Structures are given as structure tokens and as C-alpha cells.
Structure 1
Amino acid sequence: MHLDGGLQLSIAQRSSAGQKPLNEDSLGICVPEDQSLTTKGAVAVIADGVSAAEAGKEAAESCVTGFLSDYYSTPDSWSVKRSAQQVLNALNRWLFAQGQGYAQAEKGYVSTLSIAVFKSQVAHLFHVGDSRIYRLRDGHLEQLTRDHARRINQNQAYLTRAMGLDINLDVDYRAVDISCGDIFLLTTDGIHDSLSGEEMTRIILAHGEHLSAACESLIAAALGAGSDDNLSCQLLVVDGLPLADADDVYRKLTELPFPPPLQAGAVLDGLVVEAELHASPRSQLYKVYDATADKYYVMKTPSPNFIDDAAYIERFVLESWIAKRIDHPAVVKVVEPPQRPTSLYYLAEYIDGETLGEWMKSHRKPAVSDAISLVVVIAKGLQAMHRRDTLHQDIKPDNILVARDGSVRIIDFGSCHVAGLAEIASPVERDRVLGTAQYSAPEHVLARKPGPRADQFSLAVIIYEMLTGRPVYDGRLEQCQSAAAFARLQYVSACQYNPHIPLWLDSALKRALSISPELRYHDIAEFVQDLQRPNPVYDKRQYQPLIHRNPLRFWQGVSFVLTLALLWSLAR
């Protein structure tokens, strides 16, 4: 990846049983040496097994080893927050279940847990319990977490939140910026309950670059101050941040040159060009043949119009990266080239078929069941993308292929938003490619943060068009450029153009096509379910009086009748 490298950390950690016979603290740090440092980040974890719990030590160790192992196993397209929360919820459920063997849950597998994930130029903090995370910047020590503990008296306190204490986990999350020279300190209460912030700051600064010695001094000072608990601490110093120079990023992006214009019969890296399938101002698609594998592929190449545009090149490079991380029959597969590429392009499986747009032209107002069958497959492909924290953002008929065998594929990842990639800072101002206005959700046009419901909206536009042969909102959707313009749009029932559409299906379409994302379905699966079978809620609405179903239409009708009556009486 062109954004590899840059984040550099100096680390040290120490743990001691102190005056206790058993050390129930646990801690760990992982700084990957591969691409995971860019996509997942470096992680520091510290846990303090609750001494009142019989399995506190086991709980703390499980928290540290489990998180460090499972966090790096989550998809690298996921955001840090989603990855960490998934792992923490699973760990908490396991700890709670283990603790059910004890008379009281708080006597079982219970531990505090504090985590710092350093990714790009941000530290993502997750915290539960009374261990702590501090940031020392410019001589000022700031506590970044708050203790989940209630003090009974000067010497006693009990945890209000901890790992394994309850089946439902409430974790504090916070994202803070990081700068070169920042020092992050993670401690258990054996240290911070005995030392003030000023004392810890003085000890850390006195040891300079000798972080291990600083950790040892913190423990020794806490013991000298009368600490009778286990003592653990971690120090992480930010020595370097990801590339901040746009020229360096551009050099990485342009290590491979743009391929030359390709004609039928041309050979590139052992691939024979059969024909040009499509060309646009942004890219070209070719059907190519690989003699070694005896297979046809689609080659996508960048447009020479953008040879000096770093933002465009970055987005093109990321297209194949994104596609390789979506493994689903309804999403086109990107394949490895037979030889090491000598220029910038990527290969995808070749699908013998037509676009959904072409299919719709030859299947005017198809049977509702046939249309829904196609849509269900598309929706499952979108669900697979959403599970990877990836939004397509340009769902339209021309970006869906219908194969001769009836299978369906979603194509084109040029507008995708990936949560995990969005967290990686870049000195290049990223290319923001909007979807096609006719199929785009309002939040794209209004530059609001989109979510999975934006893809749901686009899918609903396609269904409406398939079943009615008409554009949604009478074709005025693509003309809207403001919130006020969108607010003036009125949904026209699909039944008005196609009487074969059931009322309950039209109700499902109307909800998915809501201008406000909050009014749409929670996810695509729920939408598809209502497309396949009647929702009792919608069935019930069909038999409600007009005044309840559409108050505006009711009163308009009443006004019309009264006006006619008045005119008739005047005419007499």
C-alpha cells in the first residue's frame, strides 16, 4: 500500500506483584512490522484483574491475549472502533459466561481493561474499569480516561463497570490526535492511586529516552509511597507519523506507469487484448485472454487524462484493494495477474452477460417476482460489502451485471467508502467521486456523512424503475441540489404506473426511498424481507380510512367537495 510506514513508536512496559503474593495485572503491546501497522495500527493493552474475584488473574490475561489476537483478525476494511467493539463484546460475553460458575458474577472472571490503538495520526482509546490512560504533551500530563469506580471511603472503592461483570458491556471510546513527541502512559491503580500526576510527570521526563528505566522508577516510587497493590505501567512515545509529504506519496503511487493505449491484439504482461468493452473519461475496460490459464478476464486501466492527478491515482489503486476484500458470489472478483504488472491496471473475472441497464431495456415492466429475484441477489452483495464497513456509493443499473446463466454481480468500486481506509491520513486531498445523480441518495448530494442506508436508497430507485419503467420522483431527483429542493419531492405510488405491484410492496419502496435516511429501513435485509412478503403493518394500512392513511389528501378532497357545493348553491 502506498501509505505504508511512517508511524514509529518507542515502547516499554513493566509489571510487578508489589506487596502481594500474586500479580493479577496483565499487559501487552503489539507493533506490527507489516501492512497491518497501516491498516490496523499498533496496540497497547493493560488489564487489572479484580482482586475480590477468584479468577481475576485469568480474566486479565484473557483480556490482553484475546484482544491482541482477535483484533488483528478482524477485516482491515473495518474501522478501529468497529473492530475493537466486536472483539470486546465477544470477550466480555465469554468472561461473563465463565463467571456463571461462581456464586456471584463479581467473584468470577472480572477485570479492568484499557486499550490504546495508534493508527495513522489518531489514538483510539477504549476503557472500562479503573486502569488509566494518560497523554504527556509539552510537560502537561492529561488523564484521557475516567474511572468507573465508586469510592466507599478513603481506602475502599468498588467498580461500577468492568469486563465480565455484566452480560452487556458499556465501554468508553475516545479518539485523540497524536503528535510527534507525545508520550502515552497506561497504568493500573497500584501506581496512579499512590502517585500524583506531577510525580509521574517528573519521573518520566527525568529518564528521557530511557523508557524501561522510567517504568521501573514509577513502580519503585509507588511502592515507596505505600502502594499495597499490583503495579503495572506502559510507556509509548510517538517518534514518527505517517508520510506528510504529498510528493513522497505521489512517488509511491506512480511507481507503476500508466499503460499505453491498447488495441485488439496488443499484449501486456502476457495478456492478449481481445476487445475494448467500455471507455469513459475516467477509465477503460478491455476483454483480455490469459493463455496460461486459458481464461478471459476484464482489465481496467486508468485514463491518461489523470496521469498527474495523485488523488485519482490513489482511488484507482484502492479499487482493487477494496474488491479483494469482498468475497461474495454477487460481487465481481478481482484476480491476480499471471505476471508481475509492469504498468498500472487490475484484472477482474469476465462475466458473459449484459448490464442491468441493458436487461431493463429488453424487459420492460418485468414480472414482479422476476425483478425481486434479481434485487435479492444484489442486496446480498451489498450486505457483504456493508459487513466489511464498505459502502458502494454508486449503485445503478450500469454497475450491475446480469450473466447469461442468470447470476448477478456488482461491479465498479471507484466510488466506494471504506471506514478503515478513511481513518488513514493522507497528504493528498482525496478524490471524492459522487455517484450518478439519478440514483444517488440525498445525503451524497448534500455532502452529509452517508451510511449503508444510502446504498439502500439507490437500490430502491432501481427497483422502482424496473417495475414502473419510470424514474422515481418523476425524474426530479437528479435536479435537487439543496435540502429544500429534496423536501419538495412527493413520492408517486409505483402502483399508479404498474397495477400489478402489490400495495404492500409499494409501501416498502416508499419507505426505502424516504428523503431522510432515518426513515428508511435499518438495514437492507429488513428491506428485502418486506419486498418478498407482505408486512402486516402495510397490510393493515390498506384498510385504514383515508384520513389516517393520507390526511392531506383527505382534507383536499373535503375542500374540493365543499367548493363544488358552494359553487352549485351560488349558481342557483
Structure 2
Amino acid sequence: MHLSSGLNTSVGQATDKGPKHQNEDCLGIRMPKDPMLTMKGVVAVIADGVSSAEAGKEASETCVKNFLNDYYSTPDSWTVKTSAQKVLTALNRWLYGQGQRYIDAHRGYISTLSVLVIKSRMAHLFHIGDSRIYRLRGHDFEQLTTDHSAHVSKDKAYLTRAMGMDIRLDVDYRVEAVEEGDVFFLSTDGVHDFLTRKEIKAIIQSAGTDFELTCQTLIEMAKQTGSDDNLSCQILRIDQLPDANSEDVYKKLNDLPFPPFLNVGMTIDNYRVLDEIHASNRSQLYVVQDEDTGKKWVMKTPSVNYEDDPAYIERFIMEEWIGRRIDCPNVVKVPTDVHRRQWLYYLSEYVEGETLAKWIETTNKRDVGQILDIIEQVVRGVRSLHRKETLHQDIKPDNIVLTQDGEAKLIDFGSCLVAGVNEIVSPFERDTILGTATYAAPEYKLRRSGSVRSDLFSIAMITYEMLTGRLPFGEVFDRCESAQDFSRLKYEPAYWHNPMVPAWMDGALKKALHISPELRYESLSEFVFDLRHPNQQFMRLKNQPLIERKPMLFWRATCGCLLVSQIVTLWLWLGS
């Protein structure tokens, strides 16, 4: 990974059982090294096992230990929010399941939980219960979380939300920009219920660099003021953030020089060039052969036109990074065991076959069943990217290869958007390559954010073209630039051009190709299901105009009526 976090923090924590016979609090901090520090950040977790529960101690320990382990095991491409929420959901279900062994489930595995994740220049907070997270910035000491508790008297309160309390998890999520010098303070109620905000702030402000001693001081003060609970707290200070103007990124991006233009017969890093597949102003593709093993690969090299463009180089490097993290038979594989490189390029699986664009151009018989088989494979490939929180953003027939065995493989990661990488601050404006205009969703042309539904739109465009040999909105779609332009588009039913396409299948295509992403399918699987199974919503043809249901019949009837009217007119004229 060419990016490095540049994040430095100082931390400290302490815990004490107080007057109770055991400590049901649990806390932990993890500060990994790069690249994990860049991709996942620093994490502080604090939990307070509910004392009235039978397994409060086990619940809090499970929350802290498992979160710290499982969060760092999630894919690098996931955002902090996705990673944390998936881990928390799994944790909550386990705790809830364990709690069902007790007669009163609310006396089982119950714990509060507050999580602070610092990644790049942002703080991500996840919170449930009445433990707290504060932030000290300058002279402002602010509580960033809200207690999930209900007070029934001055001295008595009950938790309304906690881990393991309900099968449905409702966690507060908040994201805040951080600044150098920010101090975050996490505590359980044994501390913050017995010290005023002013007292906590004063102790932290007067503290030196030994934050563990500061935490112990706060705990002792709380005990002296009558704390009758377990006491735990953590302090995390932001000493340094990633430098938005750092030259380190530029140096790492230029570690390897651009290779020269390659000709057939040339050798680069023990790979002999057999053929040139494609060349453009952005990149070149070659078929190469490993001279040691004889195995063929596709080599992609960057264009020398962008040798001094860090945004372009970052995107090129990210293509290989993405490909190595996808394992799906319908996505071209990117190897990890390659020769030591002296030039900037990457290898991918060599697939013998033809592109889907060539298939569409040369196929006359459009077998609906075969087409759906191909589209289902494309969807499986795209979903493997989506599971890594990665959008392809350039799904088109030229980026799909059909093997000699009829297998469809998605290629080219040049326009992919990786959510987890996108939330890392970069010292330059990232290269945002839009997909091919003919197949790209309208939101991209309107400079709006893409989503899973944007990739769905492109898949539906390809499906329509495979079924009909045409595009659903005609050539005018490419020329649309504004929302007003897109609003004028008219969808042409697929069965106008291919009578073998049933109306309900066309209904699925029309929905997936809606100009507004909100009105498309929520998931790719819904779209595929409706392509295979008649949806009653799309079978109500009686409300459709005859011209849409049976256009040939409509025009024949119209011509017949005109002919009859002309005959009658002629007869009346002759009779007069």
C-alpha cells in the first residue's frame, strides 16, 4: 500500500473493581503498524458488564476482545462503518443467544459498549449503553455520546439499550473530523457518575504525557467521592495526523519506473511478450509468457503520458491491489506469486475467448436462456466486488470475456471505487474515471455518487443489448448531460425488437434501467430473480396501451381503419 497513515497517538488506560467483589468492566486499545494502521486505524474500546446480569463480566470481556480481534480481520476494502457494524451485529447475536439460557434473558450476557476508531483524519464512534466518549479540544470538553438509560429516581436508572439485550441491535454511529491535539476520554459510569465534567477536564488538562497515571488519578478521585461501582477510563490524544501535503506518497508512487513500449519478442522481468492486445492513451495490454514456467499472463502497463501524474499512478497501482483481493471464478484473477519487478505493471489471468462486445456483434440467434446464464455469471462477479465494498463503475461488453467453455469473466479494475480506501486522506485529488458513457448510470454524468444500483444499471443495459441488439434509450442517451436531458428519454420495450422477450422480463429490465437510482432494484439478486421468474407486478398488461402490448397489431389495425375510411370516402364521393 502506497499510503501511510502518518497517525501518531498517545494513550493510557486504567481499571479498578472498586468496592465490588469483581471487576465487570473491560477495556482495550490497539495501535497496529502500517499498513493496518492506515487501512483500519487506532481502536479504543470500553465496556461495562451489567452487574444485575448473571454473566456481565463475560459479556464485557467478549465485547472488547472479540471486537479488537474481529474488526482487524475484516477486509481492507471495507469502510470503518461497515466493518464495525458487521462485527457488532455478530457479537450482539452471540450474546443474545447465550443469554437465552437464563430464565430471564435480561439477566444474561448484557454489556454497554463504546468504541472509538481513529482512521486517517476522522473519528468514528459506535455506542450503546451508558459508558461514554468525550472529546477535549482546546477548552471545550464535549460529551459525544448519549446515555441509553432511563432514570426512575434520583439514584436509580435502567439501561434501555445494551449489547445482548435484544436480537435487534441499535447502535449509535457518529463520525467527526479530528485535529492534532484532540484528546478523547472514554469512561464507565463508575467514573463519570461521580466526577463532574469540570473535574475530569481539569485533571486531563493538567496531565503530562503519562496518561495511565492520569487515568489512575481520575479513578482514585471517583472512589474518594463515593463511587460504588467498577471504575474504568481511557485517554487517547492525537499527536500527529496524516499530512495533506506529504511528499512521502509521491515517493512511494514513483518507486518503480514506467516500462517502455513493448514489442513482440521483448522480455521484461523474465516475461516474454507474445502479442499486443490493446493500446490506448492510458495503458497497454500484452499477452506475456513466464519463461520459467511457460504460463501465459496478461500484462497491463501504464502510459508514459501520465508519468508525472500521481493520481493516475495511484489508480493504476490500486487495480492490482483490488484484483488480488477478489476470489471469484467470474472475475479475472490477479496473481500474488510474481517475479521481482523492476518496472511498474501488473499481471492478470490470461483468458482465451472473445469479449461480450464481439459476441453481441456476431450473434444472430439471441437465445434468452443462454443470455440469462451469462448475465447471472456477470452478476456473481460484480457481487464479489460489492461484498468487498467495491464498485466496478465500468461494466460494459468490452470488459466481459466469454471463455471457450462459456464462462463469463469480468475484467479491468481501472474505474473501481474502494470505499475503505476512499475514506483515507490523500495529498492529491483522486482520479475519478467514469465508465463508458453508453453503459454508465445517469448519476455519474450528473456528478453524483455511485452505488450498487449504478452497477445494476450497467448490467441491465448489457442484458437489454444482448436480448435485442439495441440499446433501451437509443443513441440519444450518450448525449444526455443534465437531469432535464435524462427526463426526456423514452424507454423502448425489449419485446418491440425481440418477440421472444416476455413482458414480465421487460418489466424487470425497465425497473433496473430507471433513470432515478432510488426506483431501481435494491440488490442485484432481486433483478436476477425477476428475470427468471414472472413478477405479477409486470404481468398486468391490461392497463398497458395496445401499442406497447402488441405494437404490430396496433399498426395493422390502424392501417386497416385508414383503408376502410378511404374506401367509404371514395364510395360516397362516387355516389354523389
Question: TM-score, normalising length from structure 2?
Answer: 0.94
Secondary structure of the corresponding residue to residue 82 of structure 1: helix
Q: Deviations over 1:502-527 (max 9, x none)?
A: 11111111110011111111111111
1:227 corresponds to 2:205: no
Tell me which residue corresponds to 2:411: 411
What is the number of equivalent residue pairs in this alignment?
A: 563
Contact residue 284 and residue 302 of structure 1 kept, 8 A: yes
Tell me which residue corresponds to 1:348: 348
Tell me which residue corresponds to 1:421: 421
Contact residue 505 and residue 531 of structure 1 kept, 8 A: yes
Contact residue 17 and residue 24 of structure 1 kept, 8 A: yes
Mapped partners of 2:293, 2:42: distance in 1 = 40
Mapped partners of 1:546, 1:442: distance in 2 = 26
Tell me which residue corresponds to 1:495: 495
Mapped partners of 2:141, 2:93: distance in 1 = 34
Tell me which residue corresponds to 2:372: 372
Mapped partners of 1:9, 1:513: distance in 2 = 48
Mapped partners of 1:214, 1:100: distance in 2 = 40
Q: Which 10-residue stretch deviates more, 383-392 or 329-338? A: 329-338
Mapped partners of 2:295, 2:246: distance in 1 = 39
Mapped partners of 1:293, 1:242: distance in 2 = 43
Secondary structure of the corresponding residue to residue 454 of structure 2: helix
Could you tell me how far 1:501 is from its partner in structure 2? 1.0
Tell me which residue corresponds to 1:432: 432
Tell me which residue corresponds to 1:291: 291
Could you tell me how far 1:208 is from its partner in structure 2? 2.2
Distance 1:364 1:229, change over 3 A: same
Tell me which residue corresponds to 1:278: 278
Secondary structure of the corresponding residue to residue 81 of structure 2: helix
Tell me which residue corresponds to 2:240: 240
Contact residue 120 and residue 425 of structure 1 kept, 8 A: yes
Could you tell me how far 1:239 is from its partner in structure 2? 1.2
Contact residue 472 and residue 493 of structure 2 kept, 8 A: no
Q: Deviations over 1:180-229 (max 9, x none)?
A: 11111110001111111111111011112121111111101111111111
Identity of aligned residues (%): 54
Aligned partner of 2:544 among 534, 543, 546: 546
Could you tell me how far 1:363 is from its partner in structure 2? 0.8
Mapped partners of 1:233, 1:254: distance in 2 = 44
Q: Deviations over 1:526-562 (max 9, x none)?
A: 11111122223323x13x33379999x9xx99xx9xx
| Structure 2 residue runs without a partner (length 5+) | 563-567
Question: TM-score, normalising length from structure 1?
Answer: 0.95
Q: Write the mapping of 1:24-423 to structure 2, written as runs, cut at 5 A.
A: 24-336=24-336, 338-423=338-423
Mapped partners of 1:461, 1:59: distance in 2 = 50
Code of the aligned partner of 1:125? L
RMSD of aligned residue pairs (Cα, Å): 2.4
Mapped partners of 2:201, 2:225: distance in 1 = 16
Mapped partners of 2:481, 2:235: distance in 1 = 50
Secondary structure of the corresponding residue to residue 335 of structure 1: coil
Contact residue 269 and residue 338 of structure 1 kept, 8 A: no
Distance 1:493 1:386, change over 3 A: same
Tell me which residue corresponds to 2:457: 457
Secondary structure of the corresponding residue to residue 428 of structure 2: coil
Mapped partners of 1:351, 1:244: distance in 2 = 41
Secondary structure of the corresponding residue to residue 277 of structure 1: strand
Contact residue 249 and residue 428 of structure 1 kept, 8 A: no
Secondary structure of the corresponding residue to residue 247 of structure 2: helix
Secondary structure of the corresponding residue to residue 431 of structure 1: coil
Mapped partners of 1:299, 1:312: distance in 2 = 18
Secondary structure of the corresponding residue to residue 474 of structure 2: helix
Mapped partners of 2:375, 2:435: distance in 1 = 19
Mapped partners of 1:365, 1:307: distance in 2 = 46
Code of the aligned partner of 2:544? L
Q: Which 4+ residue blocks in structure 1 deviate beyond 6 angstroms?
A: 547-551
Contact residue 324 and residue 336 of structure 2 kept, 8 A: no
Q: Which 10-residue stretch deviates more, 459-468 or 34-43? A: 34-43
Secondary structure of the corresponding residue to residue 195 of structure 1: coil
| Structure 1 residue runs without a partner (length 5+) | none
Could you tell me how far 1:365 is from its partner in structure 2? 5.0
Contact residue 493 and residue 548 of structure 2 kept, 8 A: no
Secondary structure of the corresponding residue to residue 338 of structure 1: coil
Mapped partners of 2:140, 2:17: distance in 1 = 29
Mapped partners of 2:546, 2:146: distance in 1 = 50
Could you tell me how far 1:73 is from its partner in structure 2? 1.3
Mapped partners of 1:113, 1:389: distance in 2 = 26
Q: Which 10-residue stretch deviates more, 502-511 or 237-246? A: 237-246
Mapped partners of 1:5, 1:466: distance in 2 = 46
Secondary structure of the corresponding residue to residue 478 of structure 2: helix
Mapped partners of 2:99, 2:132: distance in 1 = 24
Could you tell me how far 1:378 is from its partner in structure 2? 0.3
